[in-house]
Structures are given as structure tokens and as C-alpha cells.
Amino acid sequence: VLVIVIANWIAWFDNAFAEREFAKLCKEQAGTKIYRTVELGPEYFTPDGKPVFITSKGAIDNTHMPSGYRADKTTWERIPFITSASRLRYVIRETRDESVVAEVTYLSASRGGPPGIVAEHRPMRGGYCPNDLSDMEPINFLAKVFIPRRKQ
């Protein structure tokens, strides 16, 4: 009985730590950050205003990105110290100096007790952030970064 009580106490403490760390990461990393916009000529947009560097399946096509820019996507990478937590991130970089023009980050997590010790795993409160996931669609994100040049 004592072992079960201790294991549950460890799982509760571990969950509390993970939830606090995840909330901190959500504040610091999650969401859309646009450091500057880039004005482009009409050759970079379809007649209906969509960027030409988006494939028919909605993915970013770096071969058609404007010269001097590149889009990087990190697939689900594990977040240290939080079991079952991951980060998905798109970053637009200027290739000249690798500076970040814009980024969008989505965090997801679930948390339970140590596997094999506590059978009941509960999801972590606030299991993902940000709440608005629209910018995880590349077309929505890119439309905020690359804008049509205003006609003179």
C-alpha cells in the first residue's frame, strides 16, 4: 500500500511540474510571431491572391519561395522534461544571414504517471497551445508574412 501511495504522490508531483513548465512554454513559445513583413510583386501570387509557393496540397514549396527566403518546418520534436510533449514549428528565414522573419509554433502535451507504476494516466490541463490553430496552415501563416506590393 505504501508503494502505491508513494508512486501516486510522485506522479502527482511530476504532473504539477510538467503542467507548470508547459504553461511557461506556451507563454514563451506558442503562437505566431511576425518580426517583419515582406512585400512581393504580383508574380508571387495567383490571380485570387494566394502565394505561388504553396503546393496544391497546402504545403510550403521552397523551390518557388521568393529569392533570399526559405521556409523551415520542424516536425514533431520532443520537449525535454515533459513526457509526451512536442513542438511543431514553421520558420521563415532570410537566407543571406539566416535571420528569422517570422515563426509559428504549436505545442502539444499529455502527461501521466510513470509508465508501469501508475495505471491511470490523465491528460495534462491545457494540453495544447495556442488555442487558435489557423496559422498552422501554411497558407494562413505565409499570407501574414508575404504581402502583395502596394500599387504606386
* Run of H or E including 45: none
What would the DSSP string read from start to end of 12-24?
HHHHHHHHHHHHH
Does residue 2 register a pLDDT over 90?
Answer: no
pLDDT in tens, 54-83: 888 888 888 889 999 999 987 766 666 565
Mean local confidence (pLDDT), 11-20:
64
Task: Tell me the three state secondary structure of residue 100.
Answer: strand
Encoded amino acid at 19, one letter = E
Q: Provide the CA 128 distance to its chain's centre, in angstroms.
A: 10
Q: Which residues contact 33 (CB under 8 A, 6 or more apart)?
A: 102, 103, 104
Does residue 11 register a pLDDT over 60?
Answer: no
pTM of the model: 0.70
The C-alpha atoms of residue 90 and residue 72 are separated, in whole angstroms, by 6
**Interstrand relation of 69-78 and 85-94 (parallel, antiparallel or unpaired):** antiparallel
Helices (H) and strands (E) in the chain, counts: 2, 7
